[in-house]
Amino acid sequence: MLQPKRIKWRKPHKVDYTSSAKGNTYVAFGTAGIMAEEGCWITDRQIEAARIAISKRLGKTGKMWIRIFPHMSLTKKPLEVRMGSGKGAPDKFVCPVKKGTIMFEVKGLSKEDAKRAFYLAGAKLPIKTKTVYLND
């Protein structure tokens, strides 16, 4: 699973993901990418599941880039614990993804194969996605 080597704060404040993305909004490395159509927290397990789905379709000829990273920890209190007495322990790492963010890119696939790979990856993600291409 993806997680940061070092973090500045163990329990950060929650980040807003409802607005549109300012950067990381166009295909920069590959020829096709998968774009988020809504905002959400994407966990490290969801990123890994989408990466595996794309990799299986990619084969040895293509190359893939992961443009997001789960750098923020999300906390959770244990079950049946009363409210109060501080924030819970870090539970998992998430990446706050805003609308319009490019999450994955591929190169070396035809448009149909890239669209199919991103369709399979989108099924693993908790948000609506769409496939975008270079110079579109």
Write down the pLDDT at residue 59.
Answer: 84
Written as one string, the DSSP assignment of 38-71 is S-EEEEHHHHHHHHHHHHHHHTTT-EEEE-----
Q: Which CATH class is domain 32-75+90-133?
A: alpha beta
Domain segments of the chain as ranges? 32-75+90-133
Q: What is the pLDDT of residues 83-110, one digit of tens each?
A: 998 899 999 999 999 999 999 999 999 9
Please, what is the average pLDDT of the chain?
Answer: 92
Residue 97 neighbours by CB under 8 Å, 6+ apart: 17, 21, 36, 39, 40, 41, 42, 68, 103, 127
Q: Residue 35 in 3-state DSSP?
A: strand
Residue type, 97: V
- CA–CA dist 126, 53 (Å, integer): 15
